[in-house]
């Protein structure tokens, strides 16, 4: 009797066009709590498992040739969760960063954090800045983690910074346009995502990259984040490659 082996999908599946892959993919990692609850486990176990999923997705981006990935790890609204869960997440981020830094270096990953980082626990901030500095020159997958991130908050802080420069006479009102505005966002220098994947079936942006996702294709899967894998990414990419991206213009008919 032959045992059926799971398909590992290390290389890019042959039905995907390597020339039409998203150059930047963003993920809303939703459903960790439900994943744990369904197994009678505490919610935090879902987050713990979610880290492994994210790690594999990052490797998959490298294997399949997707140069940039952004993950929504903690929103400005997530502070409203039970204190125990918030504290667990902060400790988890710190632990994962400390544990994975060497591997990220070995795998040539560049990590960046976007969000209001100043209010995060100081020990987490140290790990964040250390990992950003150490990996700054890495040229592999560009990995961005949105932590204490809120799209509206990001836009407001950009407006304030621009207004301040106008007030100080460093900028004129006529200098303000879309490309200048982008330079004041946390994501300065990072191209906008082409594809947003959200797990667990919710059809919301949840305040994620409101400016940057203006023209992104959105793919929602019912799969809960800890169960997300390369097979589901494969489906998402097939679906993405069937779409015609018009950017507000008229299509090919």
- Contact residues for ligand FPP (CB under 6 A)? 29-34, 47, 50-51, 54, 71, 73, 78, 93, 96, 145, 200
| CB 245 to ligand FPP: min, Å | 28
Cα separation, 2 vs 110, whole angstroms? 42
Q: In the complex with ligand FPP, which residue's Cβ is closer, 96 or 237?
A: 96
What pairs with residue 227 in β-bridges? Answer: none
Cα–Cα separations (whole angstroms), residue 101 to 54, 81, 90, 132, 192: 15, 28, 17, 10, 25
What residue number has its CB nearest to ligand FPP?
33
| 10, 61 contact by CB (below 8 A) | no
| CB 16 to ligand FPP: min, Å | 25
| CB 87 to ligand FPP: min, Å | 13
| CB 54 to ligand FPP: min, Å | 5
> Half-sphere exposure of residue 96, counting CA atoms within 13 Å on the CB side?
18
Q: In the complex with ligand FPP, which residue's Cβ is closer, 162 or 233?
A: 233
| 29, 73 contact by CB (below 8 A) | yes
Residue 102 three-state SS: helix
The 8-class DSSP code of residue 222 comes to S
Q: In the complex with ligand FPP, which residue's Cβ is closer, 71 or 162?
A: 71
Phi, psi of 36 (to 5 degrees): -70, -45
| CB 237 to ligand FPP: min, Å | 21
Q: In the complex with ligand FPP, which residue's Cβ is closer, 56 or 182?
A: 56
- Pick from 151, 155, 156: nearest CA to 76: 151
| 241, 17 contact by CB (below 8 A) | yes
Instruction: Return the H-helix or E-strand segment holding 75.
Output: strand 68-75
Q: In the complex with ligand FPP, which residue's Cβ is closer, 32 or 135?
A: 32
Q: In the complex with ligand FPP, which residue's Cβ is closer, 114 or 162?
A: 114
The 8-class DSSP code of residue 112 comes to E
| CB 108 to ligand FPP: min, Å | 18
Cα separation, 51 vs 96, whole angstroms? 8
What are the residue numbers of the active site?
30, 78
């Amino acid at each position: 009797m032959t045992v059926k082996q799971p398909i590992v999908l290390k290389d890019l599946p042959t039905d995907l066009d390597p020339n039409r892959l998203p150059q930047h993919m963003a993920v809303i990692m939703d459903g960790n709590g439900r994943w744990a609850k369904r197994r009678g486990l505490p919610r935090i176990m879902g987050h713990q498992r979610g880290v492994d999923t994210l790690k594999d997705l990052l490797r998959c981006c490298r294997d399949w040739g997707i140069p940039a990935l952004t993950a929504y790890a903690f929103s400005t609204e997530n502070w409203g969760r039970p204190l125990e869960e918030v504290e667990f997440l902060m400790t988890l981020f710190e632990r994962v960063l400390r544990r994975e830094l060497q591997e990220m270096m070995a795998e040539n990953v560049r990590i960046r954090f976007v969000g209001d980082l100043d209010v995060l626990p100081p020990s987490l901030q140290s790990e964040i800045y250390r990992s950003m500095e150490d990996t700054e020159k890495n040229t592999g997958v560009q990995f961005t983690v949105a932590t204490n991130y809120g799209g509206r908050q990001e836009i407001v802080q950009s407006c304030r910074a621009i207004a301040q420069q106008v007030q100080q006479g460093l900028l004129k009102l006529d200098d303000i346009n879309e490309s200048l505005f982008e330079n004041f966002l946390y994501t300065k220098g990072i191209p906008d995502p082409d594809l947003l994947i959200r797990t667990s079936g919710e059809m919301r942006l949840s305040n994620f990259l409101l400016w940057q996702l203006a023209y992104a294709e959105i793919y929602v899967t019912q799969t809960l984040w800890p169960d997300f894998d390369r097979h589901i990414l494969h489906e998402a990419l097939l679906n993405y490659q069937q779409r015609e991206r018009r950017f507000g213009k008229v299509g090919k008919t």
